[in-house]
Copies of this chain bind each other. A is one copy, B any other.
């Protein structure tokens, strides 16, 4: 089990961590298996989305802000209930398959750490599970 540190720089931010996960996979020597990514926070998440046009990230964050604004009659005194909601909507874990020593991702897919209440220093837990040969 590996814990990655992720530094975020804005309140809302999608950070491409595909390269880091690829590096950890390469170091592990895992040939066939699965990787579990887990976010041990309550106002951050992990997702997959497009790796090409940065406007996709911008549109996702902007629409989330408009649908789930930071101020919206909330009771939680920390002022980040919107971030708690976005985190549960996007989810705290992602499972990625490993085949022939490579992440199984589509051509346009990147893995994103989702910050919804930054900037902060965050953690991402990475577990690489080799599959037994059948």
Q: Chain A: residues with CB nearer than 8 A to chain B?
A: 1, 34, 36, 38-42, 47-50, 53, 55-56, 58-60, 62-64, 67-68, 72-78, 81-82, 84-85, 87-97, 99, 104-109, 123, 125, 127, 129-132, 134
Contacts and interface: CB of A to CB of B under 8 A. Distances in A.
B38 A104 contact: yes
Given A99-B1, A109-B40, A90 B88 contact: yes
B105 A84 contact: no
Copy total for this chain: 3
Among all A-B residue pairs, the 7 with the closest Cβ atoms: A40-B106, A59-B81, A55-B75, A55-B76, A42-B50, A47-B88, A59-B74
A59 B89 CA distance: 14
